[in-house]
Chains A and B, each alone.
Chain A
Amino acid sequence: MTEAWIRGKPVTLAAATGEAARLLGASRMPVIAGLGTDVAGVRAAIALARQVGGAIDHMHAATLLRDLDVMRESGMMTTTPNEARLRADLLLLIGPGLVQAWPELRTRLLATPEGVTRRIVWLCGGSEAETAGTPVEIIGGAPEDLPALLASLRARCAGRPGGNTAQALSALASDLGNVKFGVAVWSAAALDALTVEMLCGLVRDLNATTRFSGLPLAPADNAAAVLQASGWMTGLPPRTGFARGAGEHDPWRFDAVRLVESGEADCAVWISAWSATTPAWKRDVPTVVLAHDDGLRDKAQVTIMVGRPGLDHDAVTYLAATGTLAPLLAAQKSAALSVADALDRIAAQLPAGPPC
């Protein structure tokens, strides 16, 4: 049986979804946030947002949009984890947080498959680089030094004098031109937008004469799949609102934290089917929580326990090893409700009428 609560008191699922529908129906501007769910859950969330004229945001949208902004403002070259693993003769690991973003980095990329030889250089990787454990060359120290280091590297590769005159950096700059297929790996969670842009510019420059590509590591909680599903359903990434019918994307306006803290949003749905995450906003707002844990049940108006996609039920999620959407069949199939089921039940109980 699905566990559900209204203001901390156990209720039936029907009562919980009914109360959620009542809150959403009465709301002038609801925001559906978190979005830690599988593809079916995102599809249901977007459908619901359209129905109630609300907005959607993902808990890691800021990271997601940092990479996306570089792409949609300039030019970007990317490759897949498979190609990086099988083809790269140089891996350029950029900044900190790579293993955190992708725990399999060690086995999939740092451990070189048979028949492949490559050089691995880590720029300003901090403690992760120091403990990498394979023959990794470390250039640069603290992560804070990375922007200046990358700028110097790009300048040197372009034959211009750069600020950083370290021998190792000069040598790397001249080596990059002789690489056959280099891959730069980064996690936007740990970088600022200008650094991502600088890095992508370096990769672009190198392709004038050789082959080089980029491997941005996706944020957690299925963010990359949420981006894709949002893209095909709305043409737009998360941080999109449907108050005027058609989707409008604005990374500032539809930031869930800003919407709630400014008081613009008068109701929130928080979805986190894997991790025990809590919303980052400070202001109290009537909230419907769909989560795998009950940590928010005393605070939220409505809490519905949902299953973990790919564990409790079959799902489609982003697979970091391939960079694709992949089936994830339930490993511990249970009767737990999926996010999509819960949202569909709420949508079915919404009062009829405008805006859609």
Chain B
Amino acid sequence: MLTRLAGGHVVDPAHGRDGVGDVWISDGRIVAAPQAGKADETHDVAGKMVLAGAIDIHSHIAGHNETMGRLLLPELRQVEHPGHGTPRGAWTTRETGRLYAAMGFTTVIEPAVAPHHALQAHLELADIPIIDKGALTVLGNDDFTLGLLRGKDGAQAMQDYIAWTLATSRGLGVKVVNAGGAEAFKENVRTFSLDDEVPDYGVSSRAIVKALQHGVVALGLPHPLHVHCNNLGVAGNIDTAVATIAAAEGLPLHLAHIQFYAYGKEGPRGFSSAAPRLAEAVNAAKSVTVDVGQVMFGQTVTISSDVLRQFNARNSAKPKKWLIDDGDANGGGIVAYDYSASNFFNAVQWAAGLELFLLITDPWRVFFTTDHPNGAPFTAYPDIFALLMDRNLRAEWLSRLPTEAVAVTTLPSIAREYSWSEIATMTRAAPARLLGLKDRGHLGAGAVADIAVYAPNRDKATMFRNAALVFKDGALVVRDGAIVSEPYGRTLTVTPARDKAIERRMRDYYQERYGLTPDFMTVAERVLGSRYAFEAVPCRN
């Protein structure tokens, strides 16, 4: 069947398109306009904006920690019924797919899958409808990685281990969370920085990050090592962020939710936005990419594999409840939190995130996230798009914040407004490139027909919350913000080459250390259900 989206304003930065034109779909793919012949179906999208489906590179949507978050705060569950408010975090698996699709998002990456819990993460992903998914596998606090580094076991062993873990957990990339910090916390360490050493192993956080970064590059993984730095949320942690950027040393490195590291110690409260300095460091380091982790005001629950940080945050829980799980390797910390516009610190966090969006000049290297649900639930995205595209709206929000908070940021002085092309780059073209997804994030012939159409509205948040039309694999799934069909997408994985000897080595290791075979952690397709499908993403070499 040939489908034509006729006469819309097409924004496709990957192909330099930014003007009125048509987009054609056939058999789930975008095709060139046919020489002859007629569309079987035409959607008149004149006056509307036509973009590729959006891609979220970092959103905690599935896994054991997420479900413990759901169970910790059942009161966040305001359900999807119209008129009953916006869901603020219940995001059951089904709601997750439906709410993302309604905003025009068609691919979402769960960024923190613990290898031992990988099967649960994939079971949850299997229950998320409409969107395509992917998972980043967490390494760096596990005994095997630390043991390799302590034993100076060589780069090849690390590569084989990374490849083995990705195959076992069916990951799309590798993440490290407070490298060594979770392990150190088990030894009663309470603060942990880039050059601190993990007790017993004598390995620094920096050495872990570097070894994993090199491993990822050598394996040819499309996505760079995804780093959750040390000292998240701590005043003065700008130094940690800048040092970690410098540690990239010209090789690809992705720093996650950097808003949480954009803090100085200036001002009367000893807490200030250091976003301008951080943006400058990002602008200068061309091999580094970042996502923001924007904070928005309201109740949420923070979910992180950074157990040390979450433990230190437990006493600021709002409402007062939390779970700290000393897991195998990282584990998880779940802490309820309520960001308040009248709270000095929260106001600075909000402003720092927007400063980063606006002061980082290259939309190909800064990504749109709230670190869902940590800065805000993903349902807050439409409001953030509106703030980025409208300086008057920002001024309105700023006028409601504590003046002493505004005084320690530069946000009021920033006039930049994101263009449609920049939005499309940041949320479509750039994430596809960052993840190695050649047939997503653009509208060229051969691309997967994941398409979002928006009807311009003075209220930009409403426009982004309720896409006019969304196509997934060429099928209409959303009309005027309402779900019209609920197909199931695919889960993206990489399988880099590895020396087969690693299988035996890991089997022996698990037997000796755990008295178990690694079968318990192996994501076996036969138990995931027939609906669940993987899609292979090629490595670079």
Measured in the bound complex, the distance between the Cα atoms of B320 and A347 in whole Å is: 41
Does B66 reach chain A (CB closer than 8 Å)? yes
> Is there an interface contact between B93 and A326, defined as CB atoms closer than 8 Å?
no
* Most chain A C-beta atoms within 10 Å of own C-beta, residue among B68, B90, B127, B326: B326
> Is there an interface contact between A326 and B94, defined as CB atoms closer than 8 Å?
no
Which residues of B lie under 8 Å from residue A12 when comparing CB positions? none
Q: Which of A55-86 contact B (CB under 8 A)?
A: 68, 71-80, 82-83, 85-86
Once A80-B328, A87-B186, A213-B326 are accepted as A-B contacts, the answer to whether A232 and B66 lie under 8 Å apart by CB is: yes
> Is there an interface contact between B323 and A71, defined as CB atoms closer than 8 Å?
yes
Chain A residue with the shortest CB-CB distance to B90: A235
Min CB–CB distance B203 → chain A (angstroms)? 18
Measured in the bound complex, the distance between the Cα atoms of B520 and A80 in whole Å is: 14
Q: Which of A187-244 contact B (CB under 8 A)?
A: 207, 210-211, 213, 227-229, 231-237
Min CB–CB distance A174 → chain B (angstroms)? 18
> Is there an interface contact between A75 and B516, defined as CB atoms closer than 8 Å?
no
Which of B116, B123, B124, B321 contacts A322, CB < 8 Å?
B116
Does A327 reach chain B (CB closer than 8 Å)? yes
Q: Mark B309-340, 1 if CB is under 8 A from A, else 0.
A: 00100100100111111111001000000000
Chain B residue with the shortest CB-CB distance to A245: B81
Measured in the bound complex, the distance between the Cα atoms of B529 and A39 in whole Å is: 11
Chain A residue with the shortest CB-CB distance to B76: A235
Which of B64, B81, B127, B327 contacts A79, CB < 8 Å?
B327
Does A158 reach chain B (CB closer than 8 Å)? no
Q: Which of A309-332 contact B (CB under 8 A)?
A: 314-316, 319, 321-322, 324-327, 329
Min CB–CB distance B124 → chain A (angstroms)? 5
Measured in the bound complex, the distance between the Cα atoms of B413 and A49 in whole Å is: 55
Does B414 reach chain A (CB closer than 8 Å)? no
Measured in the bound complex, the distance between the Cα atoms of B185 and A211 in whole Å is: 8
Does A7 reach chain B (CB closer than 8 Å)? no
* Most chain A C-beta atoms within 10 Å of own C-beta, residue among B62, B116, B317: B116
Which of A73, A79, A229, A316 contacts B527, CB < 8 Å?
A316
Does B195 reach chain A (CB closer than 8 Å)? no
Does A113 reach chain B (CB closer than 8 Å)? yes
> Is there an interface contact between B127 and A71, defined as CB atoms closer than 8 Å?
no
Which of A43, A80, A228 contacts B326, CB < 8 Å?
A80
Which residues of B lie under 8 Å from residue A43 when comparing CB positions? 127
Chain B residue with the shortest CB-CB distance to A76: B323
> Is there an interface contact between A228 and B328, defined as CB atoms closer than 8 Å?
no
Does A151 reach chain B (CB closer than 8 Å)? no
Measured in the bound complex, the distance between the Cα atoms of B527 and A329 in whole Å is: 8
Which residues of A lie under 8 Å from residue B91 when comparing CB positions? 235
Which of A80, A82, A237, A316 contacts B71, CB < 8 Å?
A237
Which of B73, B79, B314, B527 contacts A72, CB < 8 Å?
B73
> Is there an interface contact between A325 and B120, defined as CB atoms closer than 8 Å?
yes
Once A43-B127, A235-B90 are accepted as A-B contacts, the answer to whether A75 and B116 lie under 8 Å apart by CB is: no
Contact-residue size bin, chain B (C-beta under 8 Å from the other chain): 35 or more
Does B519 reach chain A (CB closer than 8 Å)? yes
Which residues of B lie under 8 Å from residue A324 when comparing CB positions? 64, 116-117, 119-120, 520-521
Q: Which of B183-212 contact A (CB under 8 A)?
A: 185-188
Min CB–CB distance B326 → chain A (angstroms)? 4
Which residues of A lie under 8 Å from residue B62 when comparing CB positions? 232
> Is there an interface contact between B521 and A79, defined as CB atoms closer than 8 Å?
no
Q: Mark B101-120, 1 if CB is under 8 A from A, else 0.
A: 00000000000000011011
> Is there an interface contact between B326 and A79, defined as CB atoms closer than 8 Å?
yes
Which residues of A lie under 8 Å from residue B326 when comparing CB positions? 77-80, 83, 211, 213
Once A83-B186, A249-B74 are accepted as A-B contacts, the answer to whether A73 and B325 lie under 8 Å apart by CB is: no
> Is there an interface contact between A71 and B71, defined as CB atoms closer than 8 Å?
yes
Does A40 reach chain B (CB closer than 8 Å)? yes
Measured in the bound complex, the distance between the Cα atoms of B515 and A249 in whole Å is: 39
Measured in the bound complex, the distance between the Cα atoms of B72 and A237 in whole Å is: 10
Which residues of B lie under 8 Å from residue A258 when comparing CB positions? none
> Is there an interface contact between A327 and B93, defined as CB atoms closer than 8 Å?
no
Measured in the bound complex, the distance between the Cα atoms of B513 and A194 in whole Å is: 36
Q: Mark A293-319, 1 if CB is under 8 A from B, else 0.
A: 000000000000000000000111001
Which residues of B lie under 8 Å from residue A247 when comparing CB positions? 77, 79
Which of B127, B314, B521, B526 contacts A326, CB < 8 Å?
B521
Measured in the bound complex, the distance between the Cα atoms of B516 and A40 in whole Å is: 24
Measured in the bound complex, the distance between the Cα atoms of B331 and A249 in whole Å is: 27
Which B residues lie at the A interface, using CB under 8 A?
A: 62, 64, 66-68, 70-74, 76-77, 79-81, 90-94, 116-117, 119-120, 123-124, 127, 185-188, 311, 314, 317, 320-328, 331, 513-516, 519-522, 524, 526-527, 529
Which A residues lie at the B interface, using CB under 8 A?
A: 39-40, 43, 68, 71-80, 82-83, 85-87, 108, 113, 180-181, 207, 210-211, 213, 227-229, 231-237, 245-247, 249, 314-316, 319, 321-322, 324-327, 329
30 contacts between A and B (CB under 8 A): A40-B529, A71-B68, A72-B73, A75-B317, A75-B321, A76-B323, A78-B324, A78-B326, A79-B331, A80-B325, A80-B327, A83-B328, A85-B514, A210-B188, A211-B187, A231-B70, A232-B67, A233-B94, A235-B90, A237-B71, A246-B81, A247-B77, A315-B527, A319-B520, A322-B514, A322-B521, A324-B520, A326-B521, A327-B522, A329-B527
